[in-house]
Amino acid sequence: MVERVYLAKPRGFCAGVVMAIRAVEKAAKAFDGDLVIYHQIVHNETVVERLEKAHHVHFVEDLEEIETLQKRHRLAGTIVFSAHGIPPAIREKAARMGLVQIDATCPLVTKVHTEARRYAQMGYTILLIGDSADHQEVRGTLGEAPDHTILVAVHTQVGKDPRLKDPYTVEVPDPEKVVVLTQTTLSVDDTDKTIAILKKRFPKLVTPPRSDLCYATKNRQDEVKRIAPMVDLFLVLSSRHSSNGLRLFELASGLTRAVRIDTPADLREAWFEGVRRVGITSAASTPEDLVQGTIRWLRERWPDLEVIEEGEWEQIAFREPTPTRPEEILQAQ
Ligand code: SF4
């Protein structure tokens, strides 16, 4: 019988996700015709489905898809770039296609792009720690300085993606000029350890003054660490492509029994046999109504359930992006 739920706080939407979703909703209303969005605006299936339904937006993984879309839909001639960021080559290609651009890249990802350009200009080799060479954020940062960047795996993930080097064996052309940057949504502890391994191998390794791991990643992981010792089962609401959500799930799994669910529809009564205390958290791209739906599902079965929610909400907001004309993009190249 479930008696108590510990609800993580903060959880769910971060400032970057709020900004990106608002940017799409606003642009969909403002522009005449359907919007095209490059990549899933945020890594959550429910968010993507709701935007498609409510605003007739189209998600593409390749700019070439736009030509096919144009044959079946009336497009607005505008493209929105997702919160994960894009390589500059995509920005330029979209401008050459004459598309107005709304760049919803999270400012904390843009910060890493700026660091990549700066260190590449100074002749540094960038060791970029990421969870997959296919992750949109990794592609975007790599695209800022492809000739200066080496992708490195988190030390616990070595071998999972052969395109990412092992931190214990990676080589650089000049160990005196090497900097480490990271994807924003990795495991805090594993990333710290990976940087320590690199620092031991390259004592002159430069680390950015402020960690590239974002505040939302750190805060959500801290909450999982606080709650996990108190619960028999941790429910992590996250889509399977959400990097920060999967890190929450891995962290919770290492501390107690954990299950990842997309929505409350995935819940199974059998999981709760002998379970008295349940933890709940959600990824930075998971809508809050899915968390509330999960609590409702539990209350329907155990009406006396007590919900404990401590902690603080974050007070961070990012400015929404404004449209940029293709000429402006090309002039700035
Ligand atoms: S998880 Fe962090 S880096 Fe990603 S969008 Fe949210 S605040 Fe930005």
Q: Active-site residue among 115, 137, 144, 250?
A: 137
Report the chain's mean pLDDT, rounded to a whole number: 97
Give ligand 1 pocket residues (Cβ under 6 A): 14-17, 83, 106, 108-109, 184-185, 214, 216-217, 244, 284
| Mean pLDDT for the stretch of residues 297-307 | 98
Work out whether the CA dihedral 226, 228, 229, 230 comes out positive or negative.
positive
Residue 61 a catalytic site member: no
CA atoms within 13 A on the CB side of 283: 30
Q: Considering all CA atoms of the chain, what is the largest pairwise distance in Å, rounded to the nearest integer?
A: 64
- Mutation pick for ligand 1 pocket among 191, 244, 313, 319 (CB with most ligand atoms within 8 Å): 244
Looking at residue 109, its pLDDT comes to 98
| Continuous segment of H or E residues that includes residue 227 | helix 215-227
| Percentage of the chain exceeding pLDDT 90 | 97
C-alpha 266 – ligand 1 centre gap (Å): 26
Q: Which two tokens stand for residue 234?
A: 């941790």
C-alpha 246 – ligand 1 centre gap (Å): 14
Give 170-214 pLDDT, tens digit per residue. Answer: 999 999 999 999 999 999 999 999 999 999 999 999 998 788 999
Q: Is the pLDDT of residue 32 over 90?
A: no
Amino acid at residue number 281: T
How far is Cα 240 from Cα 204, in angstroms, rounded to an integer?
37
| Mean pLDDT for the stretch of residues 87-108 | 97
| Mean pLDDT for the stretch of residues 98-123 | 97
N-to-C CA span, the chain: 62
